[in-house]
Amino acid sequence: MNLIRLLLGGLAVATISVSGTAHAAPDGRELYIEHCSGCHQMEGQSGIGLPLLNAKLADVSDKYLQSTIRLGRPGRVMPAFQRLSDAQVGAIVKFLRQRSETTEIAYAEEPVVGDAAHGHTLYTEHCIKCHGADGSGEGQGTGVTTSRERTFLVMPASISNPGFLASAPDQMIRRVIHVGRKSSGMPSFDSKLSETDIDDLVAFVRSFEQQARSVAEIDADERPTHVFESPHDFETTVNNVKAALTGANFRIFPDRLLEQGLTDEFSVNTRQVGVRFCNFNVLYGMLKIEPRLGVVLPCRITIMEREGGEVILVVPNLRVISRWFNNDELVGLWDRMEETFTNIIDEATL
């Protein structure tokens, strides 16, 4: 074993001396731009994600940051960065420290002991209007995405999220309640609550760990689309789909052939058409929850005539797609919408 280590070690040294920077430490800034700036912005001003500004960074430990990167926020948009190496995660944290010129507060691990029942009462009084009864945050969406109206300066974080609870020690939660997150609109409770009250609140926040996740897993055999056979010919199927969509209050866009725009009008296959539709009112509501929704828009039912004359309809499976966004709010909404889609197909293929 040691021999291999030695060999590999020797090799590494040799490579460095030849190629210079080949084994340089990972570049935290580069990694931040690559993995974090999309949601947190270049300077941490926040977007889909929460602010990562100096005042906040000065109040958290490096361990909290590392753990948050690793675990993300399951069901609350931020992905778990499992594929980054420890060195890469360390480099991102180091970059955040340098950018903000902050040093960490290393919190003691000892749990806060408090009366969760009394904490619940205080929570209802002081916290529920922002963080919601189940701790998952009031209002729609996350962070400060500029492209939608917001009821809050910054959308309150989910404090019942398993990624948060696993990353934040009790002592840190305690401190957040003490000092607040002022630039984000969360007030300090220093003057309103006693030390014991705050301990009770921490105990209550910790009890969210017992809360089950509201979103159901999907069956292992679910497919990314549903494929249906139509008992009708191509034209009738297209017309039926449109009639059913109109009946369900969707606005229908002009048809587009699947290959349209990709080839000239003479060779384009005219027996493959996408019926595209939208309900702007519903869409607007959904974009507040998930600004990246455009990657699956507009809704489309594709109708294709196959070689033997058989006509099929291909419909996206919303249950599968919604889970790709790691956004439980969207999942809840789309799980209910699946039924609308099923009804439309039922009607069109009657």
Q: Does 285 bind ligand HEC (CB under 6 A)?
A: no
**How many angstroms separate the CA atoms of 140 and 184, rounded?**
16
**Least distance CB 311 / other proteins (angstroms):** 11
Residue 49 engages other proteins in binding (rule: CB under 8 A): no
Window 248-287: residues binding other proteins (CB under 8 A): 251, 256, 258-263, 269, 272, 278, 280-281, 283-284, 287
Q: C-beta of 147: minimal distance to ligand HEC in Å?
A: 15
Closest by CA to 343, choosing from 218, 215, 249, is 249
Pairing of strands 311-316, 299-305: antiparallel
Sequence-separated (6 or more) residues with CB below 8 Å from residue 171: 107, 108, 109, 110, 112
Q: Are 216 and 191 in contact (CB under 8 A)?
A: no
The token duo for 260 is: 């349209």
What pairs with residue 226 in β-bridges?
A: 315
Q: Is 22 in the site for other proteins (CB under 8 A)?
A: no
Q: How far is it, in rounded angstroms, from Cα 140 to Cα 265?
A: 44
How much is the CA Rg of the chain, to the nearest whole Å? Answer: 26
Q: Interface with ligand HEC includes 330 (CB under 6 A)? A: no
159 binds, among ligand HEC, other proteins, none (CB under 5 to 8 A by kind): ligand HEC
| Cα gap 207→201, rounded to integer Å | 10
Q: Considering CB under 8 A, how many residues would be counted as binding other proteins?
A: 60
- Choose the one of other proteins, ligand HEC, none that binds residue 304, judging by a C-beta under 5 to 8 angstroms depending on kind: other proteins
Which region, judged by CB under 6 A, interacts with ligand HEC, from 3-11, 121-129, 300-308, 341-349? 121-129
Q: Least CB distance from residue 280 to ligand HEC, whole Å?
A: 25
Size of the site for ligand HEC (CB under 6 A): 47
For β-strands 251-252 and 311-316, DSSP reports them as: unpaired
Residues lying near other proteins in the complex (CB under 8 A): 27, 29-30, 33-39, 41-42, 47, 79-81, 145-149, 223-225, 227, 251, 256, 258-263, 269, 272, 278, 280-281, 283-284, 287, 291-298, 300, 302, 304, 306, 312, 314-316, 324-326
Residues lying near ligand HEC in the complex (CB under 6 A): 35-36, 38-40, 48-52, 56, 65, 68-69, 73, 76-79, 81, 92, 126-127, 129-131, 137, 142-143, 152, 154, 156-159, 161, 164, 173, 176-177, 181, 184-186, 189, 201, 205
